Amino acid sequence: MMRYSALGVIAQALTGHRGWKPVWRDPVPQASYDIIIVGGGGHGLATAYYLAKEFGQARIAVLEKGYLGGGNVGRNTTIIRSNYLLDGNEPFYEFSLKLWEGLEQDLNYNAMVSQRGIMNLIHTDAQRDAFTRRGNAMILNGADAELLDKEQVRAMYPWLNFDNARFPIKGALAQRRGGTVRHDAVAWGYARAADLRGVDLIQNCEVTGMRIENGRILGVETSRGFIGARKVGVAVAGSSSRVMAHAGMRLPMESHVLQAFVSEGLKPLIDGVMTFGAGHFYVSQSDKGGLVFGGDIDGYNSYAQRGNLPVIEDVAEGGMALMPAIGRARLLRTWGGIMDMSMDGSPIIDRTPVDGLYFNGGWCYGGFKATPASGWCFAHLLAKDEPHKTATAYRFDRFLKGLMIDEKGQGAQPNLH
Amino acid sequence: MIINHPILGPRDAQEFVYLGDAALMGRPDGMTAGIEEFHDWLYNRDNPAGEHRELWYHEQGDRSWLVVTRNTVTHEILKVELARDVARAMGRAK
């Protein structure tokens, strides 16, 4: 199999690019595997890759209903960061950010990891206190954080609406190591690297049932027939409730639609990632020049992968309040993705009551940045039957035991997280 | 989305606040139910793809609670009832 290098690209250019081969195989499913991962998105592919590479597992298959990377990994706004407050979250997300930093070398794949920095704007004194506390929590967990004053923000972005009467900009909490990654390339990079290690990536293969006997998983029924497995890991965030219903489980989550937006291509305007602290609006600029931005979920249960106009208006208002300069830019595209909104806003990576059946989901709208660590920790759980040390809090029973990881303090109301 | 309010007629969904699955109306009896049953009621959801009965609160209108039956795949609204009527049909006093 071809290893990518600059020399290889030049050689292909000189020979009319006729030498490129398909990047992964298209295998026929075998009768059984040691481990089946349901869901060929970022998390599922990363899980399969780390199972093979880091945990010495073999005979692994990834089953994908549609095509690889056709779900949320290709629909998000590509931001990576580790700026969480709570102990259950921050070590995990910092582990993820460290994995992002070495990802391209590890995969031999250009995922365009760009540590262009992320900045959460501060608009009130109380918010500065809260962000100072958050920054300290980040530093205590080995991440980087920096408190910027108004003039430091102004030096970077002089055209922001600093003197907004209601929400003046007072400063920012910055994480310089945060940034963006080309999301499709993450799916492709993991898929190629997993395939190279012998993982069968099986597309157009929908799981339609689970065969469970005496409380133990024997395999999955699929649109391409029964496939046996010793262990099954489900990583299908957005559709978790539908898939886990095959095992008779009700999950602590609702599915919601989150919209994302991109403007027409503009000249370089924003070189990092920015979030508006007074509304829900975040923005970065793609390498093609489009402003990539988003805001709140629509707020009602949905599996539609498209939202409604009121949220588009709300997000546009947030954008205009923060940066009036974009008022003449035209919106190029909007789309939606389906989120597992969990009851405390945090994910679940855990065993289930069924022996050999494992679950990874509940990522709310923070799944993309978690991709490498989610894959690593899920692989750890599948291979060793015990949680990775950064993911010990992501359990199903935390709601029963009162050990919620609720960053926003909203309680069991998924559409407010 | 337009919600056909049983009393006020067609209203924009923006006037409403969304709570979630209408099964939340069936809170277990606090004197008899165990912690497992309460946990299941408070945290776990059916979360279906397709028809879903859900609670909407007309905050910017008459402040009534509605039970809306809506398709979560198409967003089509199939039926709208006053939550009060649904609760009475379930045998509750109000």
Is B58 among the domain residues? yes
Any idea what the CATH number is for the domain that residue B33 is in? 3.30.2270.10
List CB contacts (< 8 A) between A253 and chain B: 45, 47
Mean per-residue pLDDT, A371-379: 98
A108-127 burial string, b = 16+ CB within 10 Å, else e?
ebebbbbbebbbbbbbeeeb
Domain residues for the domain of B53 are 2-89
Domain-by-domain residue ranges, chain A?
25-82+85-108+183-252+347-416, 118-179+254-342
pLDDT at A2 > cutoff 80: no
Summary mean pLDDT of chain B = 96
Q: What is the predicted pLDDT for the residue at B30?
A: 86
Q: What is the predicted pLDDT for the residue at B42?
A: 96
Task: Compute the distance between CA of residue A81 and CA of residue A119 in angstroms, rounded to an integer.
Answer: 10
Q: What is the predicted pLDDT for the residue at A1?
A: 56
Q: Which of A239, A301, A401 is most worth mutating to test chain B (most B CB atoms within 10 A of its CB)?
A: A301
- Adjacent-strand bridge partners of B54: B21, B68
Is B61 among the domain residues? yes
DSSP codes, A55-122: S---SEEEE-SSSTT-SGGGTS--EE-----STTTHHHHHHHHHHHHTHHHHHTS----B---EEEEE
Angle A405-A407-A413 from CA coordinates, rounded to 5°: 80
Instruction: Answer for the pair A314, A362: CB distance below 8 angstroms, yes or no.
Output: no
pLDDT at A174 > cutoff 80: yes
Segment holding A227, helix H or strand E: strand A225-234
The string of pLDDT tens digits covering residues A183-208 is 999 999 999 999 999 999 999 999 99
**B49 near A CB under 8 A:** yes
Contact A415 B40 (CB under 8 A): no
Res. B5 pLDDT band, cuts 50 70 90? very high
pLDDT at B46 > cutoff 60: yes
What are phi and psi for residue B10, nearest 5 degrees?
-65, 125
**B76 near A CB under 8 A:** no
* pTM for the full predicted model: 0.96
User: Considering only A148-152, A218-222, A408-412, which range has the smallest mean pLDDT?
Assistant: A408-412
Mean per-residue pLDDT, A144-165: 96
Q: What is the predicted pLDDT for the residue at B65?
A: 98
Q: What is the predicted pLDDT for the residue at A60?
A: 98
Hey, which CATH number is domain A25-82+85-108+183-252+347-416, 3.30.420.280, 3.40.50.300, 3.40.50.460, 3.50.50.60? 3.50.50.60
**B45 near A CB under 8 A:** yes
* Amino acid identity for residue A193 in this structure: A
The string of pLDDT tens digits covering residues A48-106 is 999 999 999 999 999 999 999 999 999 999 999 999 999 999 999 999 999 999 999 99
**A259 near B CB under 8 A:** no
Q: What is the predicted pLDDT for the residue at A3?
A: 86
Hey, which CATH number is domain A118-179+254-342, 2.60.120.200, 3.30.9.10, 3.40.50.2300, 1.20.120.80? 3.30.9.10
Instruction: Answer for the pair A334, A312: CB distance below 8 angstroms, yes or no.
Output: yes
Closest-approach residue (CA) in chain A for B68: A300
Structure token digits, residue A51:
């199972």
A314-340 burial string, b = 16+ CB within 10 Å, else e?
bbbebbebbbeebeebebeebebbbbb
Structure token digits, residue A242:
């539908």
Which residue among B13, B36, B45 sits closest to A250, beta carbon to beta carbon? B45
Is B94 among the domain residues? no
Mean per-residue pLDDT, A372-401: 98
Res. A376 pLDDT band, cuts 50 70 90? very high
A358-382 burial string, b = 16+ CB within 10 Å, else e?
bbbbbbbbbbbbbbbbbbbbbbbbb
| CB neighbourhood size of B30 (10 A) | 7
Q: What is the predicted pLDDT for the residue at A239?
A: 97
Contact B40 A255 (CB under 8 A): no
pLDDT at A108 > cutoff 60: yes
pLDDT at A406 > cutoff 80: yes
The CA distances from residue A377 to A208, A270, A330, A381, in Å, are 26, 34, 41, 6
Q: What is the predicted pLDDT for the residue at A362?
A: 97
DSSP state of B94: -
* Amino acid identity for residue A330 in this structure: R
Q: What is the predicted pLDDT for the residue at A94?
A: 98
The string of pLDDT tens digits covering residues A28-39 is 999 999 999 999
Name which of A171, A172, A169, A152 is nearest A160 in CA terms: A169
Task: Compute the distance between CA of residue A296 and CA of residue A315 in angstroms, rounded to an integer.
Answer: 8
Name which of A365, A366, A397, A395 is nearest A381 in CA terms: A395
Summary mean pLDDT of chain A = 96
How many domains, in total, are found in chain B? 1
**A159 near B CB under 8 A:** no
**A341 near B CB under 8 A:** no
List CB contacts (< 8 A) between B41 and chain A: none
pLDDT at A110 > cutoff 60: yes
The string of pLDDT tens digits covering residues A264-299 is 999 999 999 999 999 899 999 999 999 999 999 999
The string of pLDDT tens digits covering residues A111-150 is 999 999 999 999 999 999 999 999 999 999 999 999 999 9
Closest-approach residue (CA) in chain A for B39: A400
